[in-house]
């Protein structure tokens, strides 16, 4: 007899702008992977979880696709105005699957451990709900403005974390009832369960399972993760493409007017090919031709960003990150200096890196050799990659 089935709902619909930056925090990168991808993987990789359903904001479909590139997931559902409405949408998306249990998790807690997930599930055979929590360690004061009115006994007080696990049918019933009660406002699912009279127990939480909230939290998390990647590799790339009749070249994904175009099977983006080879070199994964054979018609006129994204995905799959890229493009013409910033930003966007970790330079070969004779464009690149110790 197989055991109960458990699904996870990852709530990623918040605006999450308190950490600063232009992106909601769940889509920000943390040592080479988005916060959301890390949270999803914690559940997708857990043997006790059969299904992962993500809930996203209405305008975040593109961010979601970029953040989960390479993860095999069912389509995300769009959340509501409040966290409560978003969770309800996630629960409803599981209706046809009808799992026995569901674990509801905040996307902004990417460091949840397999043990916490296991403990929450294990407690659901005896209770309606279970959640990880930490005892409060600081002395707790109640205050009126800044004046203390009382010191609160902290012995019975806990800080609630996620994932919060429940019997699927029971938490759906509680959410339905809560959404029909317009006065009720809840900040987590356990409080909805308590309000509905379900029995919910605490299991041991962990300091590491904290919710990333401020810019400081992000910096500390980045530092902690980077320290786990001590194996530093440098890869090198080199590529040349010849000119043929045409009116523009594409370099780093940027269209640049010229009196010729570059010849090649794909879009002939010599700069992007070079950087792709450098990244593949850093992880000893062969070269671009091995992954995308020119003999294969599907790469005809292909956007070379596909190749670069795949190289980055292979680094992420190894648990590593791209620390820095440095690219030099060599030609007499077109003049590249006016386009350097756009090329740098284009690569940073494709790789999900801050522009400060991407360098693009342009030079001539002083009219010497094939680039000097304006027969084509050459490029060289290095990529610095950090990997975990295997
Ligand atoms: Mg090439």
**Tens of pLDDT, residues 321-335:** 999 999 999 999 999
Count other Cβ atoms within 10 Å, centred on residue 239. Answer: 23
Claim to verify: residue 45 and residue 187 sit in the same structural domain: yes
pLDDT at 112: 98
| 144 occurs within a structural domain | yes
* Cα 273 to ligand 1 centre (Å): 5
DSSP strand pairing (51-56 vs 6-12)? parallel
Q: What is the DSSP string of 264-307?
A: -SSS--HHHHHHHHHHHHHTT---HHHHS-TTSGGGTT--THHH
pLDDT at 46: 97
Q: Among 241, 203, 35, which Cα is nearest to 122's?
A: 203
What is the band of 294 on the pLDDT scale with cuts at 50, 70, 90?
Answer: confident
Q: Provide the CB-side half-sphere exposure for 290 (13 A, CA).
A: 9
> Cβ distance 22 to 31 under 8 Å?
no
pTM of this structure: 0.78
Residue 271 CA to ligand 1 centre (angstroms): 8
- Ligand 1 centroid – CA 239 distance (Å): 6
Ligand 1: centre distance to CA 110 (Å): 38
Domains in the chain, number: 2
* DSSP, res 107: T
Centre of ligand 1 to C-alpha 371, Å, is 15
pLDDT at 150 over 90: yes
CA 321 – ligand 1 centroid, Å: 24
90: left (phi over 0), alpha (psi -120 to 50) or beta: alpha
Token couple for 236: 């090198």
Q: Ligand 1 centroid vs 294 CA: distance in angstroms?
A: 9
Q: Measured between alpha carbons, how far is 368 from 54 in angstroms, rounded to an integer? A: 56
User: Per the domain annotation, does 89 fall within a domain?
Assistant: yes
* CA 54 remoteness from chain centre: 13
Q: Do the domain assignments include residue 1? A: no
Let me know whether 63 and 204 are in one domain. Answer: yes
User: Pick from 198, 227, 256: which residue ends a domain?
Assistant: 227
Q: How many Å lie between the centroid of ligand 1 and the Cα of residue 379?
A: 10
Higher pLDDT, 249 or 227: 249
144 and 130 assigned to the same domain: yes
Q: How far is the CA of 348 from the centre of ligand 1 (A)?
A: 20
Q: Is 374 left (phi over 0), alpha (psi -120 to 50) or beta?
A: left
Distance 248 CA to ligand 1 centre (A): 17
Indicate if the pLDDT at residue 260 is higher than 60: yes
Last residue of a domain, one of 173, 202, 227: 227
Please tell me whether residues 182 and 237 are part of one structural domain. no
| Ion ligand 1 neighbours, Cβ < 5 Å | 239, 273
What's the confidence (pLDDT) of residue 270? Answer: 98
Query: How far, in Å, from the CA of 1 to the mean position of ligand 1?
Result: 55
Q: Are 257 and 247 in contact (CB under 8 A)?
A: yes
Per-residue pLDDT band for 1 (boundaries 50, 70, 90) equals very low
Mean pLDDT of 252-278: 96
Here the CATH number for the domain that contains residue 373 is: 3.30.1330.50
- 221 and 248 part of one domain: no
Lowest model confidence (mean pLDDT) among 26-30, 179-183, 185-189, 303-307: 179-183
Cα dihedral sign, 49-124-157-174: positive
Q: Ligand 1 centre and the CA of 351: distance in Å?
A: 19
Please give the Cα distance from 72 to 362 (Å, whole number): 39
Report which DSSP code applies to 96. T
One domain, residues 177 and 190: yes
Question: For the chain, first and last CA: distance in Å?
Answer: 37
Find the 240 Cα to ligand 1 centroid distance in Å. Answer: 6
Centre of ligand 1 to C-alpha 51, Å, is 40
CA of 360 to the centre of ligand 1 (A): 17
Nearest to 10 by CA among 33, 36, 30: 36
Sorting pLDDT into bands at 50, 70 and 90, what band is 165? very high
Same domain, 140 and 265: no
* CA distances for 350 relative to 67, 214, 276, 314, angstroms: 11, 26, 11, 14
What is the per-residue pLDDT across 354-381, written as a single tens digit (0 to 9) for each? 899 999 999 999 999 999 999 999 999 9
Work out the average pLDDT over 39-58.
Answer: 96
CATH number of the domain residue 77 falls in:
3.90.550.10
Helices 305-317 and 340-351 sit at what angle, rounded to 10 degrees? 40
**pLDDT tier at 347, thresholds 50, 70, 90:** very high
Ligand 1: distance of its center to the CA of 266 in Å?
8
Q: Which two tokens stand for residue 10?
A: 């990852």
Q: Same domain, yes or no, for 219 and 258?
A: no
Lowest mean pLDDT among 105-114, 117-126, 247-256, 287-296: 287-296
Distance 242 CA to ligand 1 centre (A): 10
Q: Is 110 exposed, middle or buried (0-12, 13-18, 19+ CB in 10 A)?
A: buried
**Is residue 202 located within the same domain as residue 277?**
no
Helix (H, G, I), strand (E, B) or coil at 177: helix
CA of 34 to the centre of ligand 1 (A): 29
Would the pLDDT of 319 be above 60? yes
Collect all residues with Cβ–Cβ distance below 8 Å to 103 and sequence separation of at least 6: 6, 7, 8, 9, 43, 49, 117, 120, 121, 163, 164, 165
Task: Output the pLDDT for position 67.
Answer: 83
Answer for the pair 379, 238: CB distance below 8 angstroms, yes or no. yes
CA of 251 to the centre of ligand 1 (A): 11
In the reported structure, the alpha carbon of residue 298 is separated from the centroid of ligand 1 by a whole-number distance in angstroms of: 16
Q: Are residues 306 and 211 in the same domain?
A: no
Instruction: Tell whether 373 is covered by a domain.
Output: yes
Ligand 1 centroid – CA 187 distance (Å): 53
Instruction: Say if residue 20's pLDDT is above 70.
Output: no
Asked whether 378 and 239 are in contact (CB, 8 A), the reply is: yes
Supply the pLDDT for residue 191: 95
Cα of 244 from ligand 1 centre, angstroms: 15
Quick check: is 217 in a domain? yes
Provide the pLDDT confidence category of residue 18 given band limits of 50, 70 and 90.
low
Higher-pLDDT residue of 335, 29: 335
**Closest residue by Cα to residue 204 from 160, 165, 168:** 160
pLDDT > 50? residue 124: yes
Flag whether 204 is in a domain.
Answer: yes
Residue 17 pLDDT class (50, 70, 90 cuts): low
**Chain Cα centroid distance, residue 96:** 28
Q: Do 175 and 238 fall into the same domain?
A: no
Tokens of 258: 């010229």
Number of C-beta neighbours around residue 41 at 10 A: 15
Ligand 1 centre distance from Cα of residue 269 (Å): 7
Supply the range of the domain harboring residue 290.
Answer: 231-387
CA of 301 relative to ligand 1 center, distance in Å: 12
- Of 173, 197, 227, the domain-final residue: 227
Whether 88 is in a domain gets the answer: yes
Between the CA of 241 and the centroid of ligand 1 the distance, in Å, is: 6
For the beta carbon of residue 244, count every other beta carbon within 10 angstroms.
Answer: 12
Rounded to the nearest angstrom, the distance between the alpha carbon of 247 and the centre of ligand 1 is 19
CA 32 to ligand 1 centroid distance, Å = 25
Q: What percent of the chain has pLDDT over 70?
A: 98
Burial code of 60-84, b = ≥16 C-beta within 10 A, e = fewer? Answer: beebbebbbeeeeeeebbebbeebb
Count the Cβ atoms, other than its own, within 10 Å of residue 22.
Answer: 7
Q: Do 266 and 223 share a structural domain?
A: no
Q: Taking Cα atoms as reference points, which of 220, 206, 103 lies closest to residue 159?
A: 206
């Amino acid at each position: 007899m197989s055991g109960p089935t458990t699904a996870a709902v990852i709530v990623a619909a918040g605006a999450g702008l308190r950490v600063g930056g232009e992106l909601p925090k769940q889509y920000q990168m943390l040592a080479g992977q988005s916060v959301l991808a890390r949270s999803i993987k914690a559940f997708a990789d857990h043997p006790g979880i059969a299904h992962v359903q993500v809930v996203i904001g209405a305008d975040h479909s593109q961010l979601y696709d970029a953040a989960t590139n390479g993860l095999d997931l069912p389509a995300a559902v769009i959340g509501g105005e409040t966290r409560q409405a978003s969770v309800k949408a996630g629960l409803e998306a599981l209706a046809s699957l009808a799992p026995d249990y569901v674990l509801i998790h905040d996307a902004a807690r990417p460091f949840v451990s397999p043990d916490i997930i296991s403990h929450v599930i294990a407690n659901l055979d005896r209770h309606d709900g279970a959640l990880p929590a930490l005892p409060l360690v600081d002395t707790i004061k109640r205050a009126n403005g800044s004046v203390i009115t009382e010191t609160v006994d902290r012995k019975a007080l806990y800080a609630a974390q996620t994932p919060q696990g429940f019997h699927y049918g029971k938490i759906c019933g509680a959410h339905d009832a809560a959404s029909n009660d317009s006065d009720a406002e809840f900040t987590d699912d356990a409080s909805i369960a308590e309000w509905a009279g379900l029995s919910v127990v605490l299991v041991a939480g962990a300091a590491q399972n904290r919710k990333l909230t401020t810019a400081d939290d992000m910096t500390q998390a980045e530092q902690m993760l980077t320290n786990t990647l001590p194996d530093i590799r440098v890869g090198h790339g080199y590529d040349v493409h010849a000119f043929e009749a045409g009116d523009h070249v594409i370099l780093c994904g940027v269209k640049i007017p010229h009196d010729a175009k570059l010849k090649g099977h794909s879009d002939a983006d010599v700069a992007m090919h070079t950087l792709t080879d450098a990244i593949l070199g850093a992880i000893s994964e062969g070269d671009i031709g091995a992954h995308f054979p020119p003999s294969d018609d599907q790469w005809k006129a292909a956007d070379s960003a596909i190749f670069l994204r795949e190289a980055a995905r292979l680094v992420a799959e190894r648990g590593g990150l791209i620390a820095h890229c440095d690219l030099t493009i060599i030609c007499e013409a077109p003049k590249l200096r006016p386009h350097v910033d756009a090329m740098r930003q284009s690569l940073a966007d494709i790789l999900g890196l801050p522009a400060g970790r991407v360098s693009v330079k342009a030079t001539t070969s002083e009219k010497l050799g094939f680039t000097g004779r304006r027969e084509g464009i050459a490029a060289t690149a290095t990529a610095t990659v950090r990997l975990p110790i295997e």
